[in-house]
Amino acid sequence: MTERRARPDNRHAQPEDFPDPRMLAVKTLQELRGGEVTLDELLSKHSFGLPSLDRNFLRQLLGTTLRHLGEIDAMLAPRYHPPQDRTASRLTNILRLGVAQLFFMDTADHGAVDSTVNLARDAGLHRYVKLINAVLRGLQRDGFEWPENVEGWQLNVPAWLRGSWKKAYGAEMAQGIAQASLGYAMLDLSVKDPAEAAHWAEEMDGVVLPTGTVRLEGRGRIRKLPGYKDGKWWVQDAAASIPAKLFAAYEGKTIYDLCAAPGGKTMQLAAMGAQAIAVDKSEGRLKRVYENLERVELGAAVVIGDATDLAPDTPRADAVLLDAPCSATGTIRRHPDILLRQNDKLMRSLLPIQTKLLNQADKLLNVGGELIYCTCSLQPEEGEHQIKSFLADHPNYERKPITADELGGWDEAINDAGELRILPLYMQEYGGIDGFFCARLVKKS
């Protein structure tokens, strides 16, 4: 996909206070290899204080590189063999950024090559300048050929993900999921007063999705959009906004929002009249919950604590919303670093945590109360399988099916069990949606 015109190579005109975003992109790719930090976290750190043009370019360069990483590496493979020293990964990432600009961004060919050569010099890799120049100019001149019967999406999506989706959804659906996941997400807003959704959609030239979310095609600076300072809405993906809307009643009800940060669901619950209690173990992430609640002028209790290990005397509630930590494979459109960071082993390491959280939710819930479990994962192990296992171990629970009426008539994502299984290839007429799973249970005794 072609992106906006790349930032020109003004290396020598760059003020010392503002580092070259290309160098920051190399640093970010290096730090992503460990898998423990996310792209958003690194961008927040590295882009702080950058001019908006450089900040946007940094985000676009990294997003493009990560979405096309398999293709980029396939292009490089015949022409580039990494050196057997500690410079290898840095050199490889510099070349990756060069290929991304050369073939997947709207950058002049000479600018893509020259800026990458300059980047290598600035990184202290002077002895590899001729190699970089030869590799990129060779690709520019001769192009490249894919392996026979292989498409770009097959190269960009890791084999473990492609295999798991094929097993869960079939080959044709898996291909659609992969291709949709490599696309780009639009900006979704949850409106504080749902009755005003049409007004804000018209105000910002957006549309109202069947589920009530306001979607904007262009992003711009979020803080500059109408209604932001007045707390009329908050940013929240359309899929992630659904679970909080599914409780039977809100007014005066006590509802726990477990693993609550950054607080979108907490704000929804509070806006609908619930006595919301947001729980998260990350004090840093909870700071955003405080800030968001203050901006939109909503009240909720905020508790710093590990939801898998709350005190035995923690008060019970009328309902529990559990958005469990997961592999987040449904959010690749927004977080393409998942393609690089996530793997089957890491995903499976989260399964016991999800089980513990479900058991903790049971302890917090009054008899007759509703438990909503959700994840932004496409992996059945983190969704359908978890609910099936929980129901087997807790016969005092039963599913309360989700209906199309609760989704504005949208029934495409409701499975035979009455659970919500959203795939990224759904809502294509509106620009797609994040992958998501949601089940609603009732505690009978």
| Residue 280 annotated as part of some ligand binding site | yes
Cα atoms in the 13 Å half-sphere on the side-chain side of 375: 25
Q: Determine the Cα angle at 267 with ends 379 and 370, to 5°.
A: 60
Which runs of consecutive H residues, i.e. helices, occur in 282-350?
A: 283-296, 338-341, 344-349
Q: Is 265 annotated as a binding residue?
A: yes
How far, in Å, CA of 180 to CA of 430, rounded?
13
409 is in an annotated binding site: no
309 is in an annotated binding site: no
3-class secondary-structure state, position 341: helix
- Specify which residues 443 forms β-bridges with: 397
Is the Cβ–Cβ distance between 297 and 231 less than 8 Å? Answer: yes
H helix intervals, 335-383: 338-341, 344-349, 351-364
Report the distance separating Cα 220 and Cα 323, nearest Å.
28
Catalytic residue selected from 326, 374, 376, 438: 376
Binding site annotation covers 307? no
The answer to whether 262 is annotated as binding is: yes
3-state secondary structure 116-148: HHHHHHHCCCHHHHHHHHHHHHHHHHHCCCCCC
Q: Name 31's Cβ contacts closer than 8 Å, sequence gap at least 6.
A: 37, 42
**438 appears as a binding residue in the annotation:** no
Q: Is 259 annotated as a binding residue?
A: yes
Q: Let me know if 376 is a catalytic residue.
A: yes
Q: Is 260 annotated as a binding residue?
A: yes
Q: Which among 258, 267, 326 has a CA at the least distance from the CA of 294?
A: 267
Q: Is 264 annotated as a binding residue?
A: yes
In the annotated binding site for S-adenosyl-L-methionine, the residues are 259-265, 280, 306, 323
In the annotated binding site, the residues are 259-265, 280, 306, 323
Catalytic site positions: 376
